[in-house]
Structure 1
């Protein structure tokens, strides 16, 4: 059997870039249907592109929804709402957040003739956080709003309605993160929309019912810091039951006491009474107070579950209570302020500077040059470099061609680094909290790279040859444009290397993001020069060519062997997707890669069989994408901390501050699933029994900051350390400056750092 042109030793290396181009075409064919089932929003500061009805963050999925059972017209019922689906253990807040937190805010931008009312708040659950009590929502909640459509309403000329919403919410677990989103929903005015009818009905069922026949009154007690509440006329279902109390006014009652022994409730016949402690932040005595009483499920927990029935009441306040001294802050706030002050005094972190001395910039350039050079040793970059080096065999003694290819490859590497750096700097200037490797925080980018490496691996293994699946005009582009071939190879090498932060790179990149744009881009140029340097040296120094083996049949074996590092990279990328989106996302990606491999094989066939099988695979891939594509963008249902070992805790800024305020040293591992160096260190130095024992001996708290998906809090913490990418390892101790370890810390380096405590 004759050897195909791609398998001939003198040409195998130079089909690499052509295969890359073919891979992009195949990716488009399989992945483009994703737009039918997945929507992504990129927010740049206060502006956003392609507004959607859904905003997804690592903690919540928020969606603008509508209920128009008779279409949208004057006098017809219309409701809008924000549906918030929380990740496990995260929550947002009710109209009165309790001891801490903020309620969700909705700012509507509606067409003329449409007026939105306030939120019809469902009754929340009581959420205990430390010694505080909050009122909020876990799981999924819909915040409904009734919209009045007046006679002035007119739909668009095309009969549609453009509804926009700006929403902000505070989402908390132990730490709290403010989030916001811009939403747009376009609906036809003359079509009934009942898609969300069930959820709107459930939300209204959870809202408290006004009791016209009930009478409530508050009486200030002689102590001046407590009131007695009496309620008559409650439904029979509530009699003799323990009720949950939800005050609507913030800073009036001591919320945490509702779950403790500081307040009491009782029944005097059909009258419900309670003695309630007032907040240390209370103001003057109001004339009236609004509140909600909730009836828990039979045998249910008053503290943790929303009530099955709830009633909204209002009562006058009789007498005067003693106003609190508002110059004094609450004990919880005082403790938090003390902890923050202690953290600032014992752990001063350097802020990024916007001006850098010449010597500092030159040092950063040198670090970038060395870091780029070391990137060539990364597992998935090495096969690309090896294949390109073997490509010198094609030129033989043609020194001019070798040098031209070397420069073209270097240009592809350097321009790609500068492009990545420019995008990173632009997004940070627009307000985004991003760092090196930011593109791999998108599951779709990871999925695209997995598909690219799958196709490259299949080609290297000989499953398909480019000349058999595309026209000769495209397959032979590399022969007609060898410099373009070399340039694209450089681009591919940078794409493969982007998940990695090599030694010396971390400090340089952290330096770069705080510099003026021209100086920062100079560091990215240095990274590109360092990565391209080995190939350029070999191409320009003929003496180095003698180190390379002579061309021969062994190159075919070498080419096929290089397929396995590519497949190993695919395994790693599927694991990354699993960390980001869960087991369903990983399974969906594997299924799509199977379709992609089948498509590449089908295109190698001839005649009608080729067309029919390729069409069947494309249809199957499209259906698969419609059915499962959303799992590639949705966050994992279980927090990534599930991977954490028992000795490691999930990092948060408040957690770090709390431990330092207690006088305990803290070691933070800033990591990400897509960072190869991070995973290597996690499985070697950071899991070594001697290292862990030394941490325990010095009572060091181990925190792991997982940056697999975007997390502005982690990005900000990295910036304070002068870094913009992972891995970063820092040892913090009260009264001492932070000790930042190298990107590849040895066991001895960790032991030496601990000896300084």
Structure 2
């Protein structure tokens, strides 16, 4: 590819993604109130009820108890006379089935709908506060919240504040009547749980068939069986078949998530569970056209039945809905400020990317690039511009690849966040050797067109625009362990939005990261303040090499935390790095023999291959004990985070500080050095008797990932406190002692 094409490709990349986003969203709006809500009380002639009623903006949907492949269910919290209370919940309304962008399955609600609770006599008088949260989606997803307050007198609400909707009693009575009812398990429905075909760990399949005496009224726009949440089972997707006699058959793929629970629950190899699990479903009864609730106890799963069932279903005709609701609906909606809102998030992404240039994780590579600018400052303007455009193209290409990877993971139902690639031991291993070899080049052990555009060894070589491109790639990869101000809001917006917006937000982060070098490319005089080239640059090279060695040591610590029984692998890794050093040192200073050079390189390359081929088992179970022990060794008593521990302390009024962190998170380390590891923080903890909870996201953890997403984060760090009222306070990504102290009140 000719270098003249780089500016063209760069602009084409931006324009294509910009046009795709604004074309797809030009008629899509973000309404001021995507969800309106109110609270009501009423009597149906027998019992007193409290209802939470919602009304979504046209074609926007919220989520059912089981949201599907993504999304978050409606949530609510009650206080009466200042005390947290739990009201008996009735069944939720029957949800609709959606196929969201990226073929994501979801269950949820459109239009107007209500949740119902029994209101006992002891709560018929008193003041109340109610909070409800939701995630509402269409072309993007937006988290929402509403707070109600008022008084209940003789079962009736007075002085209601916070409501944005009105619902009549007749509407509530009709909605109450339409709630799904429980029935006995159908005698003509057979269910078998089996280990999935193939060598798939923790994969199960639920097979079921329904025998019908005559053609039924099965609605293909619904599941035959829609599962309620049932940990440790995560239901993925149902597929329905029919035979020549109109009997229905179906299979529902399931992931066993017991390994992510606390304590860990492994899938029993014998096929027999220690205790039976009760699975609850919405049953779309084809015989009467109603949706009913059924339950089935599972004691065992078959180790062999899947093969037989799979062969049988190959002979059947699959049934597919022709009109399952799509969330990307073209609709004429009044003009709103969607483009302004999107622009605001893109601006945040750009500013966050710009700030990343000053974060410690990126400084080694940025320093090398500055070294290049100094070295090439006397070249003509067009050549300097091409160097910097190559660097920018490397950044934008890598951010585009990251965005594509995230979209693919989301499409597969996986939970990912900012810096997710550093949760992969293999990726971290590759980065260790790449950075170490770059550092050897900076120390002058071999000549190589490194990031920066020219050799950094002892012999001058030709400038390399490809080297600048690699520099941009490396800067992007090393930026992801860091989080910057403004970046968190933009990334949360992206991760809960459409695929095109994910691409656009990531590209604007990349533009922010590359912006200083774009400015110096177009206006070379901006680097006039930098010193002129000289012998001092040789010393600077060695210093930059040292920074890459230190970065390599940090990645080795991350790698050790990601794997179990790491002693043997870490020994091999250290030996391989030593052999790598001696191979380059030997070639530079000791021998000119090509045979000896080849043998020396083969030695460490063989060991690298051996490390790569060794099965790497990601840490599961109590894998956070290393980081927990490290934190405890600094004089404070940290406990492993769990939602149960949060609930326990919240119910007793105990003050709690919660730290979501990871070994690979540079911003976490900075916050620890400036705040958490200081005497001021220690004194505050001791003075106020604060409990400390640590959530370690060094490795992939579905529970932590889901909790972070539910609370508006797509990565770490994230800090929270629970005050004396039991309220959870979000402190964001950066903290100060005064901010922590104030939030505890």
Query: Normalization by structure 1: what TM-score?
Result: 0.51
The Cα shift of 1:172 comes to 6.3
Other-structure match for 1:658: 648
Q: State the distance in 2 between where 1:634 and 1:663 align.
A: 37
3-state SS of paired residue (1:705)? strand
Q: Does 1:703 align with 2:685?
A: no
Deviation of 1:528 (Å): 0.7
Contact residue 576 and residue 607 of structure 2 kept, 8 A: no
Residue aligned with 1:669, SS: strand
1:595 has 2:589 as partner: no
User: How many angstroms apart in 2 are the aligned matches of 1:545 and 1:494?
Assistant: 23
Give 1:719's match in structure 2, choosing from 686, 693, 709: 709
The residue that corresponds to 2:730 in the other structure is: 740
- Once residues 725 and 600 of structure 1 are traced to their aligned partners in structure 2, the CA distance between those partners, rounded to angstroms, is 38
Per-residue deviation, residues 142-172 of structure 1 (Å, max 9, x unmatched):
xxxxxxxxxxxxxxxxxxxxxxxx9965636
**Structural mapping, 1:425-574, within 5 Å:** 425-466=407-448, 482-574=464-556
Unaligned 5+ segments in structure 1 are 1-44, 47-103, 112-165, 182-202, 208-245, 253-282, 284-354
C-alpha displacement at 1:713, in angstroms?
0.7
- 1:396-418 residue CA offsets vs partner (Å, 9 max, x unmatched): 15112222222222222122112
User: Deviation string for 1:536-594 (max 9, x for gaps)?
Assistant: 22222233131111111221221122111001101111111222224444333222222
- Residue 258 (structure 2) aligns with: 171
CA distance in 1, matches of 2:472, 2:260: 44
CA RMSD in angstroms comes to: 4.3
Give the drift of 1:395.
4.9
Post-superposition offset of 1:735: 5.6
Alignment of 1:170-209 (within 5 A): 171=258, 175=262
Aligned match of 2:394: 412
Shift of 1:373: 1.3
1:249–1:368 CA distance, 2 compared to 1 (3 A): closer
Structure ranking higher on relative contact order (CA contacts 8 Å, 6+ apart): 1
Give secondary structure in 2 for the equivalent of 1:391.
helix
Summarize the alignment of residues 31-70 of structure 1 with structure 2, pairs less than 5 Å apart.
Answer: none
- Does residue 195 of structure 2 align to residue 107 of structure 1? yes
Distance change in 2, residues 1:174/1:488 (3 Å): closer
1:620 CA drift (Å):
5.7
**Residue 753 of structure 1 pairs with residue 743 of structure 2:** yes
Deviations 1:120-143 (A, max 9, x none): xxxxxxxxxxxxxxxxxxxxxxxx
1:729 is paired with a residue whose SS is strand
User: 2:665 maps to which residue?
Assistant: 675
- Flag the 1:627–1:385 CA change in 2: closer, same or farther, 3 A: closer
Report if the CA contact (8 A) 1:170-1:176 is conserved: no
**CA displacement at 1:640 relative to structure 2:** 2.4
Q: CA deviation at 1:609?
A: 3.2
Partner-residue secondary structure (3-state), 2:659:
strand
Cα shift readout 1:519-547 (whole Å, capped 9, x = no counterpart): 22221112111111111222222331311
Does the C-alpha gap of structure 1 residues 537 and 736 become closer, same or farther in structure 2, counting only changes over 3 Å? Answer: farther
Q: CA deviation at 1:702?
A: 1.6
Name the structure 2 match of 1:297: none
Task: Report deviation, 1:688.
Answer: 2.2
Correspondent of 2:366 among 381, 385, 393? 385
Give 2:17's aligned residue.
none
Compute the displacement of 1:107 (Å). Answer: 1.9
1:501 CA displacement: 1.5
Matched-pair contact (CA < 8 Å) for 1:588–1:628: no
Q: Is 2:599 the partner of 1:615?
A: yes
Q: How does 1:358-397 map to 2 (within 5 A)?
A: 358-392=339-373, 393-397=375-379
- Relative distance call for 1:738 and 1:445 in structure 2 (3 A) is same
The whole-number CA distance in structure 2 between the counterparts of 1:508 and 1:629 is: 38
Distance 2:506 2:273 in 1: 56
Deviation at 1:731, TM superposition (A): 2.0
CA distance in 2, matches of 1:728, 1:251: 34
When residues 180 and 448 of structure 1 are mapped into structure 2, their CA distance, relative to the original with a 3 A threshold, is farther
State the shift of 1:633 in Å: 4.4
Asked if structure 2 preserves the Cα contact closer than 8 Å seen for 1:579 and 1:636, the reply is no
> For the residues of structure 1 that align with 2:273 and 2:615, how far apart are their CA atoms?
40
Q: Cα–Cα, structure 1 residues 173 and 718, in superposed 2: closer, same or farther, change >3 Å?
A: closer
Residue 441 of structure 1 contacts residue 710 of structure 1 at CA under 8 Å; is this kept in 2? yes
TM-score, L = length of structure 2? 0.52
What is the CA–CA distance in structure 1 between the aligned matches of 2:340 and 2:350, rounded to whole Å? Answer: 15
* Structure 2 gaps, min length 5: 1-68, 71-191, 200-252, 279-295, 297-335
Map 1:71-220 onto structure 2 (within 5 A). Answer: 107=195, 109=197, 169=256, 171=258, 175=262
Contact 2:393 2:472 in 1 (8 A): yes
Aligned to 1:262: none
Instruction: Tell me the distance in 2 between the aligned counterparts of 1:568 and 1:494.
Output: 18
> For the Cα contact (< 8 Å) 2:348–2:486, is it kept in 1?
yes
- How far apart, CA to CA, are the structure 1 residues paired with 2:277 and 2:260? 22
Cα 1:631/1:699, change in 2 over 3 Å: farther
Counterpart position of 1:143: none
Secondary structure of the residue aligned to 2:682 is helix
Contact 1:670 1:706 in 2 (8 A): yes
